[in-house]
Chains A and B, each alone.
Chain A
């Protein structure tokens, strides 16, 4: 019995004939209709056969409610019309930005495109910031290979691009003493996988992690685990790329392509038609949609949502750590590590994430039940966690494929595209290594049609906006004397000065929104959540960008804060 026939029999049994599978161009294509999203996802997983097929194309229609499409910018202009470039990168998340920066080492015209008003607006700013040691990865996975290499690159790139990076290590805790045996067997596996580990007994564990539950009997320590602020890294990459002449097209959505003789000729956007020689698909949750319009679809992205919660700084412990408990799976699924507790790069405690399949790829909403679940779960590890200490929470969407692995490859059907898709955890860890490999592939591919020379002016170094509150007094005093704005505190919770906010508004990656400022210098990230500094930041943006108050927005032109002057109604005749 051939594979498709077998699959169809299984699908028939499960979904009463509502789903049909066929093989086309080396892919499994699922069609039909179902009214349960979970069933659609289940069917997708059922069709996976990595050895025989390139991937699963899940076209089963969801009939229960309308599936929201890609949110488009409201801008329509000709800003990028007829722009020719060597490489167009679609998607300015961590992957797109890292590739842009690595490609800037060559003398190429590079256009980095994103539909959002800022870089890193989706998964890249909605994760927990862990640089993974590779605890649960398996040999042969693309993500395993890139995770190991990416992790090792962080020391170097954090120095070059001046972002915060710590290696506090990760603790995987066990509740039973006899699990020491399991630990030791597992450690042999990790040894083979070149993941360094150490065994810790209860006493040592308690010394390392203040407030850890007495139920935790032992732990495996992974010293290579690290922490960054994920949007800080994304912005650092984007700024360094732009400092090295990469052009950035924000508020620009690729909605269609002209493809002829297996080559992409042009990209249609709301800001004009762009003519690239080569396209890099780093479009995150929409990577399969981009693949489809490029005539090169062989995988499906299904959105998996996760929620994280952030605690007040006063709850932070003396030592930094990343900790999770083995087998505590209140919300764990087969395809998620089940989250953990960690000290963020900005010194807050963070818990999460959970995992839930969703049909809306941009559903960043939060639910109380998710917060309750993650706090209940992680309380078993750190009993001192209190819901009343939570100051913020957010959801992110993982761009998972049914194969649950990264898709990093040249086009299968279309010649001038590289897919960098299916990037979910550990995408942040893997990004620096992926970017290096993809840039070499680009060089190889472009060399067939043009000469690719190194960029003699490339500067790998980028200077961060000074973080005055973390500086020693002498340095801080010196900077304030150079620029008195550094001595004017605007955000009282995070101790952010006017000078830092002004800096955020004048870097190589444009920023003119409250959220943009918040992600660059943390004004509004603290316990008052911008209640006090929000209006002051708005005033500063208005002044520096020379725009009226009412045009200053939270995240883009559709999310303005104000409606114009008061007393307007008095002037109406």
Chain B
């Protein structure tokens, strides 16, 4: 692990969280001269503050904490000669006429220039803020996202709340409900505007049910009170169209409102480079090699689409890193992957049939809870794979593997369909 860097590389990985770590290791494994750029002081990304367990069940067959999981990869990196630069921020990326990317980095030593053949974007995601979901009323202290609350509790060892309401039932919200309760705070309840839980079922059971924290679905926060510090919030039932049901308002006294209302891929660099984004995932569209619509730029982890297990992030990032290492400019024959409207999204959005990446994991989420359904992936009349699911939930990412060689050449689409089990 080398804490310095030169100026030319085969692969530059942007982001040192779980995706970036796995991508850098696998790029090096196939012989690429690799640079890993991290904007924070330390590697590990958001895993650093996820001190609960449950990471690594698929990857390492054991229950690890976030820092332990990250450490596995950091240890792997130590045995490589991947160059690493922390506290380093990428401000600009340009592609030169010869196809080489030119990156401008801000470091505490000054501005640096890097030249690289391929880029892996592993910039993670950010939390939706109170303003993005149009929380109204006063603007006091005590409105924070679950991730920020997690940083305060787990990294700073400080209590951001005494009595709180949690809006949104995303995983970090559920985890924080338990964490804050364990630290002596009162979590009045978790409120979810949708009909369905936003996070994993295991988190619902382990974080809410085990601690008697009520979950109120189809209920949202409609107003904040308190001028200096939150003094109360108003909650209100909503119908299926998310419109408030008048008369169902209730005022809850509390000192904080914690938000766990969704994650958005951080794709500012991708946008700067005019990479096509998928409106459904909010991340760049990519093929099964994790290569975006711009040749030589790869994407993985939560920057690609928001995953619910870090294990998925690592396995995808390994492929992204490997493919970036092998990247050579050539014409790709890309076939779009389209899906029924019952799916919220489906990745990858494209299949490159000439690639030597002959297996493709199709990851998808449903829009609603589905029971006893077949998911079939077809290419023309050819069924690539069919799988039966007893239950599928919007909060649980599913995946299914297809064989690229089975794709009939000449068919212009790959179709992911859902049907009833007969």
Contacts and interface: CB of A to CB of B under 8 A. Distances in A.
A365 B151 CA distance: 28
A562 B136 contact: no
Given A489-B39, A531-B145, A566-B183, A364 B139 contact: yes
A487 B271 contact: no
A561 B160 contact: yes
Interface residues on A, range: 35 or more
Interface in B179-205: 183-184
B227 interface: yes
B141 A553 contact: yes
A437 interface: no
Contact of A568 (B106, B129, B152, B184): B184
B5 interface: no
B144 A534 contact: yes
Interface in A436-475: 469, 473
B141 A473 contact: no
13 contacts: A364-B138, A365-B138, A391-B129, A394-B139, A480-B111, A495-B89, A497-B106, A531-B129, A535-B148, A559-B140, A559-B228, A561-B160, A565-B157
A375 B109 CA distance: 45
B390 interface: no
A169 B142 CA distance: 40
Interface in B105-157: 106-111, 126-127, 129-132, 134, 136-142, 144-145, 147-148, 151-153, 155-157
A128 B148 CA distance: 29
Given A487-B108, A531-B145, A566 B138 contact: no
A471 B157 CA distance: 37
Which of A469, A477, A497, A566 is packed against the most chain B CB atoms within 10 Å?
A566
A549 B268 CA distance: 31
A140 interface: no
B159 A368 contact: no
A50 interface: no
A371 B140 contact: no
Contacts of B152: 535, 561-562
B113 to A, nearest CB: 9
Nearest to A570: B184
Interface of A: 71, 314, 362, 364-368, 371, 388, 390-394, 469, 473, 476-477, 480-481, 484-485, 487-489, 492-493, 495, 497, 527-529, 531-532, 534-535, 539, 549-550, 553-556, 558-569
B411 interface: no
Contact of B130 (A527, A529, A563, A565): A529
A180 B106 CA distance: 52
B401 interface: no
B87 interface: yes
Which of B108, B130, B160, B162 is packed against the most chain A CB atoms within 10 Å?
B108
Which of B106, B144, B152, B161 is packed against the most chain A CB atoms within 10 Å?
B106
A390 B128 CA distance: 12
A391 B128 CA distance: 10
B155 A365 contact: no
Nearest to A556: B228
Nearest to A394: B139
A568 B185 CA distance: 11
A528 B132 CA distance: 9
A366 B136 contact: yes
Contacts of A367: 136
Contacts of B142: 561
A568 B39 contact: no
B138 to A, nearest CB: 5
Contacts of B158: 549-550, 562-566
Contact of B153 (A394, A497, A566): A566
Nearest to B136: A366
A549 B158 CA distance: 8
Nearest to A557: B228
Contact of A559 (B126, B127, B141): B141
Interface in B330-360: none
A364 B155 CA distance: 33
Contacts of A535: 148, 151-152, 155-156
